[in-house]
Structure 1
Amino acid sequence: FHSRKTIILTKILNNYQRSKFYHSTSDEQNISLYSKTHQKGSIPCNNNDLIVIRLPKRTCDPCSRTKNVDLVVIVKSCVYCFEQRFVFTVGLPTPNETNTYHFDGFMTTLTIDAMQLSSKYDILSNESKIHNDMLIGAFHDTYFNLTSKMMLSLRWATNFCIPQSPLFLFIDDDYLLHPNNTINLIRKFNYSQMKSLAAGSVYFGKVDRPKNGYVSYNEYPWDYYPRYFLGIGYFLGADVVHDASIAMPFTKQFRIDDVYLGIILKRLNRTLTHLDNIHIHPGKHHLKSGAFMITRYLAENHVDWTTGLIIRKKRTEH
């Protein structure tokens, strides 16, 4: 949505003895991941403290009577994305101002945007005070902490939001929501369906191992990932969010958050539903056919935000 209203939007920027996974090839030659059933008394392998610096007060506030809603939207954002978001979960700015990271013997260099300005924290704090809809975690906001950001979001939703909403939508801050199309989509599901839903743009692919090794065999020894959602946007029902937040401490962490969620959902035996109306590069024809996640270009040129109607391209004034 282009404003802070309608369906509640939440600003989110946001082994057990080493878990052992076994793989097998199904009829479709998809990799299935399983873990050994943990023994009584086993210690979680991925249960580091996720300290919260700020909680959103406008949404899912346990200290006030918040109206129940059909959908809570969690927008994944970053500390330097002030102009791109209107809601978010984020970590702290990095202390070393570097865009080069070393992991398991490999070096990754990110674009300049990924390392800009830890001095932005004061602006971040002020934004949180004004809007009261941000969840900020006490970890550095880097590419390799995306999984921690997702875990924080799910834990917060489990503890504060599940009694108030049956359904959650997680989206990147590169996209906006078209209100009418979003409402029309969720109205297709009844309450029970919402609670158990896991839906998005389903992807299944080979592990990326270029010459310099993006993912090492030590991190992930198999050739294919399980089915997972493209991280641009996906729906998780309250039951799925609850179960995933419990399963994660008992599942070895993987730094690619989209894939990690896919591993979790596979372990939980959840069916991933593919939604045809999610597009990485949506056009006006997609918007007309029900696309609910739209680019900033579509939002600024083809939507009348006073009515929510789809319009011809707006004329630019000279």
Structure 2
Amino acid sequence: MKFLRDLSLLVVLILPILSIVYIYQYEEEGGKYNWPLIVRESNNSYEVEMNYQLMSPLDVPEKFTILDILILKSGFESELLTFDDLVNIPDSRWRSDFDRRVELVYPQAYNTTEVISALLNGQPIPEKPINGPRVRFVQISEEVCHPEKPLSHKYDIVVVVKSGVSQFKERQEFRRLNKAFTNLQGESLMGLRIGLVFSIGLPRSQQNNMFKRGKYQLRLNTSGGQFLNPKSLDQATAQFEEERKIYKDLIVGDYEDTYFNLTMKTFHSFVWASTFCRKNRPMILFLDEDVPVSLKYLVRVLRSQRREKRNNLLHGVLVRRGRVFRFEKGPSIPKWNVLKSEVPWPFYSDYVMGFLVISSYSNIERLALGMFFTKQFPIEDAYIGLVAAKLNIPVRHSRELLDWKFIITKQKHHLRTLNSKIFK
């Protein structure tokens, strides 16, 4: 083995199989520690794997439960309920003011903050991560946060656009709008450097827009479903392969890029940012491709914030007590419906809508690790809210930072754009 160490990264070159291992570091009071997500590179693809050890069975704590009186309208018997018990309780039996500590019972039902602390300090954890220890990237950006390119780590803000694999024209328009102030060739804005990447998955192998959600079959006619047909998928695949060769700003996860995999896209995006961008620890702005923000306005706002506030960001359009939609009874919007086995309670944790989320790096780190230990469901913004709740990270409204009248760029563009009043 050959070893190369600098201030932030340990690189291990394993011969003769030509696999490179990157071990990142983080600092806390008292010293430096290895970041628990290790990167293995082989043939230009990257696998991020969690390094952990398990507790002795005798040391594993009991999983969280909740007393029935704290969540039920009536019929309680002072029993402690597990997650499986919650799944079988109809929404109609839940108190409207049910105790939000029920979120701690969501799998994995251990103290997620303590699990992450143990990981960061090299101590054993109770159980392997429910979402598996590995995340694979078919491709990562060469211009932003690349382990072999020092200049790609100079950014103060990294913009991650969550893009559908078929949305090539939208990515092109984003590139055109922001070229002057992003990535290696862009100028700084008020002294801040900005990186821009697009987070996408792979074209769907099943060439139709039918999805199975539990026992239900669903046809998706919008939100990318209109492109899930043989002709459009063949075109998207060919265009995607060409785009990968030309542009160096793609983060390509090893998952199928569909609406119902938005949580998977979010997971990959957080893992990428928390691991590959460690050297400069930038603020991260997640955007949908129909939110062309004004970078000049964004930078002006962030420059005006005290360091303490910039280090504690998790802001967007705040939703409180968002209704959970069902396939069975009650309010239903098919593409937003979730199963009782996915979300057993009738109202989500507070969350910020996924089309714009701005976060400090310290929250990106904790959320990324928390996602390994939090069972996934398809509503990605509500999922982030649940992980944040389990970690006791407050979510805040973007109006604390941003004036809705100035968020969207005034440049001429061809993007389908959200009405900026949604930020009010």
Q: CA deviation at 1:121?
A: 2.1
**Which of 289, 300, 317 lines up with 2:412 in the alignment?**
300
Tell me how far 1:175 sits from its aligned partner. Answer: 1.6
Question: Does residue 151 in structure 1 map to residue 267 in structure 2?
Answer: yes
Q: Give the counterpart letter for 2:297 in structure 1.
A: N
Match of 1:92 in 2: 202
1:50 corresponds to 2:166 = no
Counterparts of residues 1-318 of structure 1 (less than 5 Å): 29=97, 32=100, 33-35=103-105, 36-37=109-110, 40-47=125-132, 49-66=134-151, 67-85=153-171, 86=174, 87-111=197-221, 112-116=225-229, 117-119=232-234, 120-204=236-320, 205-209=322-326, 214-276=337-399, 289-290=405-406, 292-294=407-409, 299-300=411-412
> TM-score, normalised on structure 2?
0.59
Alpha-carbon distance in structure 2 between the residues aligned to 1:301 and 1:138: 31
The 1:90–1:276 alpha-carbon spacing in structure 2 relative to 1, beyond 3 Å, is same
User: Closer, same or farther in 2 for the Cα pair 1:277/1:247, shift >3 Å?
Assistant: closer
Letter in 2 for 1:262: G
2:203/2:233 contact within 8 Å kept: yes
Query: CA separation in 2, counterparts of 1:21 and 1:133?
Result: 44
For residue 114 of structure 1, report the CA deviation from its aligned partner. Answer: 4.7
Report the CA distance between 1:125 and its aligned residue: 2.4
Aligned in 2, Cα 1:232/1:181: closer, same or farther, shift over 3 Å? same
Instruction: Give the CA deviation at 1:31.
Output: 5.7
Checking the alignment, whether the CA contact within 8 Å between 1:30 and 1:224 is kept in structure 2 is no
User: What secondary structure is seen at the aligned counterpart in 1 of 2:132?
Assistant: coil
Query: Equivalents in 1 of 2:284, 2:217: separation in Å?
Result: 35
1:188-219 deviation per Cα after TM superposition (whole angstroms, max 9, x unaligned): 32344323211110112111125576222222
- Give, in angstroms, the shift of residue 21 of structure 1: 7.2
Instruction: Provide the rounded CA distance (Å) in 2 between the counterparts of 1:21 and 1:52.
Output: 36
Amino acid at match of 1:201: V
1:115 to 1:301, Cα distance in 2 relative to 1, 3 A:
closer
CA gap of 1:83–1:30, structure 2 versus 1, over 3 A, is farther
**How far off is 1:141 after superposition?**
0.7
Going by fraction, where is helix more abundant, 1 or 2? 2
SS at match of 2:304: coil
Q: Deviations over 1:119-143 (max 9, x none)?
A: 2223212222222010001111112
Measure how far apart 1:277 and its partner are: 8.2
Paired AA for residue 412 in structure 2: E
Read off the aligned partner of 1:96 and give its amino acid letter. Answer: Q
| Whole-angstrom CA distance in 1 between matches of 2:356 and 2:205 | 29
CA contact (8 A) 1:30 1:226 kept: no
* 1:234 partner SS: strand
Normalising by structure 1, report the TM-score.
Answer: 0.77
Taking the aligned partners of 1:146 and 1:48, their CA distance within structure 2 comes to: 19
Task: State the identity as a percent.
Answer: 26
Q: For residues 301 and 51 of structure 1, do their structure 2 counterparts lie closer, same or farther at Cα, with a shift above 3 Å needed?
A: closer
Which stretch shows the higher mean deviation, 105-114 or 264-273?
Answer: 105-114
CA distance in 2, matches of 1:189, 1:34: 32
Q: Could you tell me how far apart the structure 2 residues matched to 1:247 and 1:21 are?
A: 19
| Closer/same/farther in 2, CA of residues 20 and 74 from structure 1, 3 Å limit | farther
Distance of 2:299 and 2:205 partners within structure 1? 41
Q: For the pair shown, which has the larger CA radius of gyration, 1 or 2?
A: 2
**Between Structure 1 and Structure 2, how many residues are aligned?**
274
Does the CA-based 8 Å contact 1:31-1:226 persist in structure 2?
Answer: no
* Equivalent pair of 1:200/1:278 in contact (CA under 8 Å): no
Partner SS, residue 412 of structure 2: helix
Q: Residue 226 of structure 1 contacts residue 262 of structure 1 at CA under 8 Å; is this kept in 2?
A: yes
- The answer to which structure, 1 or 2, has the higher relative contact order (CA under 8 A, 6+ apart) is 1
Inter-partner Cα distance in structure 2 for 1:49 and 1:142: 20
Asked if the contact 1:52/1:135 (under 8 Å) is kept, the reply is yes
Structure 1 distance, partners of 2:133, 2:209, is 25
Show structure 2 runs of 5+ residues with no match.
1-53, 55-59, 72-95, 116-124, 175-196, 415-424
